[in-house]
Each structure stands twice: as C-alpha cells, then as structure tokens.
Amino acid sequence: MMSKTRRWPKALSRIVLIMITALTAFPFLWLFVLSFKTDTEILNSPFSLPESIDFSNYERALDTLPLVKMFGNTLFVAVFALLISLVCTFMLSYAITRLEFKSKRLQNGLYLLFVAGLTIPPYIVIFPTYRMIVSMGLLGNRVSLILPLAATTMALGVLLMVGFLRDFPKEIEEAAIIDGCNIYQMCTKVVLPVIKPVLATVIIFNVLYFWNEYPISSVLVNDPQMMTISLGASMFRGRYSMDYSGMIAATVIIIIPQLLFYLLFQKNIVEGMTAGAVKG
Amino acid sequence: MHWLSKRSTKIIMVLPALILFVGFVIIPIFISVYYSVTDFTGIGEAQFIGLKNYQVLFHDRFFFVALKNTLIILIGITITVLPISFLVALLLEKPFKGSGIIQSMVFAPNVVAPILVGLIWLFILDPKMGLINAILKGIGLGSLQQQWIGGRTLTPYAVAFVYLWQVLGFYTTINMAGLRSIPADIYEASQIDGANRIQQVWRITIPMMKNTIVINTILIITGGFKIFETVQQLTNGGPNHVSDVLVTYMYYTTFTTSRYGYGMAIATVSFVFCLIFSIIYLTRVNKSMHQEEG
C-alpha cells in the first residue's frame, strides 16, 4: 500500500544513489590500488594503475610498524575505558529514568548536563586535563588516558540509553520488585538483558571512538611504548618521510580490521540509532 | 519505582558518572577559562594578566583567518550534509534490492579513524601527486587544475567536502529513523486529496521532520567544530596558518609554541560558540521530552 502512495521516478533515484555510493566507496578503492604502486609511480603518474601487483609495500609497512604493540595498547585502553564508561552510564541512565527523585528538576537537569557534553569539543579540555594529570603525578600511566576517554563518551551513552529506557515499559521491573528483587539483582538480572540492543549500539560507538581517538591521546601519551593505533598513524608522515607507498600500505593494514568490525556489527549501529534516541 | 529509590541507592547510582564527568569535562572547562586570563607558558607560576590575551586575540590576523576558515567549513557542511543526507534517506526509505548495501556503504567512512581519513584524501586532493589534478590533466583540462589543498583559498572547502564524505551516512541513518516515525496514513490521506510526491515531501515530510532537522543541524555544526585531524593531515594549517581552523590554531599555540594562556583564550572563545549551540540543542531536547510525557 506504501508503494502506491509513494511514486518517485525510479530510474533517476537509483542513478543518484549509485553515483553517491560510488563516490563514497571510491577513496577506499583508490587507496587499495595505490598500495600496490611504487613511490615513483605515485609521484610521476598519479592517475595510472600499478605496473605489477607486488606486496613489497606491505612487507615494508609490517617491518616498520610496531603493529602488535599498537593494537595491544589500543585494545587495553579501549577495554578499560569501555567498562568504566558503560557501568557509569548505565547506572546513571537507570537512575534518571526509573528512580524517584524528590526534585524532578534535579533529575531532568542531570540528563541535560550530560547530554550537553555532546556539543562540547574535547579540544577545549585537553590542556586542563593534561595539567590535572601532571599534578596528580599520573602522566605516563595508562589510567591517565582511560579516565578522560571514558568521561568524554558518556554524553552519547546517556543520550542513547535514557532514550531507550524511557520508551521501554516498566512492568517487568515492577513485577520483579514484587518478587522481592533488590536493586543489584534488578540491574544485572532484569534490566541488562532487556537493554541489549541499545547496549550493543553504545558499545560499538564507544569502541570506535576509543579505537580512533587521536587529539587527547596525542597530548597525554608521551611514551612510545604506549603508542596507540591513531598515534602510530599520525606519525606515518614523519616515519615514512618520503615513502608514500609504505604509508598507504600501513593505512590499508589499519583500515581493514575497522571495516571488518563495521561489517560485523553494522546492523546494531543502524538499529540503535533508529531506536528513537538520536533523532530527538 | 518508588521501592528502589532509597537515598543511598540514588547516590551510588549517580555518583560515579557524575564524578567522572565533572572531573574530566566540567572542571577542565573552568580551568581553561582560568588559564586564559594568565600568561602561563609552562615555566614558573601563572601570572594573572586580566583580559590581555583576549585583547591580543582580537588583533591577531591568524585568529581571524582560522575563524573565517572555521565558518566556511561550518556553513559548507551545513548546506551540503543536511539536504544530501535528507535526499539519500528519502531515496532509501522504501527498501529495495540492494538498498541495505547502499546504506551500509554510505555509512562506512564514518568508522574510519579521522587521522586516516586525512591521509586517504591527501592522495586525492594533493596538487602534485593527487588524483584529481592528474585526471584533469589526463583528459586535457589541465587548465582547471587547482591547489585543492595547501593553496591560498581552497583548503577549507576541501575539508568541508571530506567531512561530507565522512558523515553523510551517519545523518542519512538519523533521517531514516525520522522518516519512519511519520505515520503512513497521512501520506495516504494526502494522496486521496491529490497531492503529488513533491508536495508530500514539502508539505508533510519536512514539517514533520522539523525536530530531526533542527537536531541534525546542531549536531553538524558542533561536529564541524571538532574537525581537527583532517586539517592536520592535509595541510597542518599551513602554509603560514592560511588553512588553520580554530582547533588546529589553538592546538598550535598551546602545544607547539607553549603559549598556554593564549591558547586557552582561543579555547574559551570556541567554547562560548559551542555553548550557544548547546543551549539551543538542550531547549529542543527538553521540549521534545515534555511533548512525549504530556
């Protein structure tokens, strides 16, 4: 019945869509093509296909990049920041949507305070955070990166979780209370299972953010032993100075796992964003 | 949920998030403002110098160049991302074979690290080894070759285009969520009244998506303030600061030249800009919340 009411010149719309998709995909494909070219080919004939397919760029990239260390460091930061951020965000969102506050304004104000965080550029707080970390004697400690990153992701988490919990009926929880369930059991046994869809979305967005974060890490991490993926990538231009082909191969090596991660979880991303919260 | 709402429970539930957020987001904002009225350079104590940093700022040519570039980017992304993501959402609204693939492909750039986005586009936009100029030369339009990045004028436009590429899928997805919330019978009724598709979009879809459009606009603008890595990778603000944006110029003054006080003055000015948009955003969120309740 929808198809009857919504007619749209089909062919034209498909052509527009295909063009936009092609434009979106093209830079990835081009990067991939470039990764097989030699430096001379890149510099002298940018608009040409590689003379021959060889993997020497990749071999060089793998030799120069401390890949294992970079992935390990990033994973470590991401896991702990994720845990902290999720626990805090979940408890707060539950309190905002389910617990009774004497002052409604306080409850609402808490929500608005956190959601306002979405609009604050993290760059403003990098230097003060750096000073705080230094004065606490934590510089060079991994905790110094984990806490600020966890803090900056809470805004989106609260927005998504509160949005989900508001739309979700309270009846199951009320029944659980009658059965004598306490707050701890309530959160872990009753609520966690039902908020899985939005939890998945929050986790994915947070993991992507922790994985890709650059500006805060670039200031708080000064020890090459603690280098994350983004920090490593930011040094490509220096590290490979004129070795563009090595730089491109290294970029491909880092992008492929990201795209795989996305392919695996894209359904959750779209579902969570459509769940109702982001659209306001 | 009255039974669970003991005072101690509420405190336990709220406090961890509040401490983390206040400690690492709210307090740092005040510290920024504090440093902005000092001459702190990292050595010795910070001396209070009043509004001097702000006076210098309003005579700083580079600051105004960065401000201008930031505004070009903000306007550029708003007038492109908003309508194009809306159009793509409209075209994808009714599922067809392959629509899922198109949607996920358009979203894909959004998951790539911003620092790599800059690198990818370097090889397309660079005037010497970039693809665009090579194509123009190859098809005999060499005279159209431009300094897309690193020249006097075009860098902020190029940055805005790269941002469009990066976030198009994100806003398309939000728009699709908005489109789905419009009840189908409104369209049916309007069709019986003889409305065509364009009238429907204009008279029904857009007015009913008003909230989504406003929130998207604010997210796009505040997102535009966060563009950093792309500029850093493409030109690093050069040559001679002509392609700096507010955040890269702030990063440069703060961390490259150690003029912390001055850098924080730039940060504070940027914050005030964002604060204005936050307030508009919050009024919207607050309003839509009360609509749902009432």
Residue B187 lies in a domain: yes
Q: List Cα–Cα distances, B142 to A45, A257, B130, B148, in angstroms.
A: 14, 38, 13, 14
Cα–Cα dist A13/A118, whole Å: 34
| Helical residues (DSSP H) of B181-259, grouped into ranges | 184-192, 197-200, 206-208, 210-224, 229-234, 246-251
Q: Residue A183's closest CA among B7, B20, B19?
A: B7
Mean model confidence pLDDT for chain A? 84
Reply yes or no on whether the pLDDT at A9 is more than 80: no
Cα B221 to Cα B225: distance, rounded to the nearest angstrom: 7
* pLDDT of the residue at A107: 87
Which residue spans within A133-195 are E strands per DSSP? none
Would residue B59 count as lying in a domain?
A: no
- What is this model's ipTM? 0.84
Report the pLDDT averaged over residues B58-74: 93
Phi, psi values for residue B270, rounded to 5°: -60, -40
**DSSP for A19-45, written as a single string:** HHHHHHHHHHHHHHHHTTS-HHHHHH-
pLDDT digits (tens, 9 = 90+) for B34-45: 999 998 887 778
Cβ–Cβ under 8 Å, residues B36 and B267: yes
Output the CA–CA distances (angstroms, integers) from residue B160 to A54, B118, B138, B154, B195, in the order listed. 35, 12, 26, 10, 36
**Is B32 inside a domain boundary?**
no
Q: According to the model, what pLDDT value does residue A238 have?
A: 65
Query: B15: distance to nearest CA of chain A, Å?
Result: 8
- Chain A residues inside the 8 Å CB shell of B4: 98-99, 177, 182-183, 186
pTM of the entire predicted model: 0.88
Is the pLDDT assigned to residue A89 strictly greater than 60?
yes
What pLDDT score does A77 carry? 94
Would B169 be classed as within a structural domain? yes
Side chain identity, residue A216: I
| Helices A104-116 and B7-21, axial angle in degrees (round to 10) | 20
**Nearest Cα to Cα of residue A90 among A231, A232, A203:** A203
| CB distance B261 to B86 below 8 Å | no
Q: What is the maximal distance between C-alpha atoms in chain B?
A: 77
Q: Are the beta carbons of A208 and B109 separated by less than 8 Å?
A: no
Q: How far is B68 from chain A (nearest CA, A)?
A: 18
Q: Tell me, what's the pLDDT at B3? A: 63
Specify the number of domains making up chain B.
Answer: 1
Q: How confident is the model at residue A240 (pLDDT cuts 50, 70, 90)?
A: low
Q: Is B215 a member of any domain?
A: yes
Which parts of chain A fold into alpha helices (H)? 2-5, 10-34, 39-44, 56-64, 67-98, 104-116, 123-135, 143-167, 171-178, 183-185, 192-194, 196-212, 215-220, 229-234, 236-239, 244-274
Q: So what's the pLDDT on residue A90?
A: 94
CATH number at residue B204: 1.10.3720.10
- Scanning the structure block, which residue is given the tokens 């397919």? A53
Residue B26 forms part of a structural domain:
no
The domain locations on chain A are 72-230
- Report yes or no: B182 and A37 within 8 Å, Cβ to Cβ: no
Minimal CA–CA distance to A212: which of A254, A179, A260? A254
In this structure, what token pair is assigned to residue A184? 């701890």
Q: How far is CA B16 from the centre of its chain?
A: 29
Question: Which chain A residue lies closest to B216 (C-alpha atoms)?
Answer: A279
> pLDDT exceeding 90 applies to what percent of chain B?
36
Q: Say how far apart CA A33 and CA A48 lie, in whole Å.
A: 9
**Which of 193-212 (B) contact A at CB < 8 A?**
197, 200, 211-212
Give the span between the Cα atoms of A119 and A109, in whole angstroms. 16
CATH second-level architecture of A72-230?
Orthogonal Bundle (1.10)
The arithmetic mean of pLDDT across residues A97-108, rounded, is 86
DSSP H helices in B58-130: 61-92, 99-107, 114-125
Residue B75 domain-assigned?
Answer: yes
Give the model's pLDDT for residue A80: 96
* Nearest chain B residue (CA) to A125: B28
Instruction: Give the CA diameter of chain A.
Output: 76
pLDDT at site B268 = 92
**pLDDT interval class at A241 (50, 70, 90):** low
As a whole number of angstroms, the distance between CA A189 and CA A240 comes to 52
What is the mean predicted confidence (pLDDT) over A201-214? 88
Q: What percent of chain A has pLDDT over 90?
A: 20
Does residue A74 have a pLDDT over 70? yes
Query: What pLDDT is recorded for position A198?
Result: 83
Mean pLDDT of B205-231: 86
Instruction: Considering only the beta carbons, identify the residue of A125, A247, A262 that sits closest to B28.
Output: A125
Residue B276 has what pLDDT?
86
**For range B6-28, the mean pLDDT:** 90
Which residues in chain A touch residue B111, judged by CB atoms under 8 angstroms apart? Answer: 208, 258-259, 261-262
Whether B208 is in a domain gets the answer yes
DSSP for residue A218:
H
Find out whether B227 and B73 touch, Cβ atoms under 8 Å.
Answer: yes
B183 vs B22, more confident = B22
Q: Which domain holds residue B168?
A: 67-251
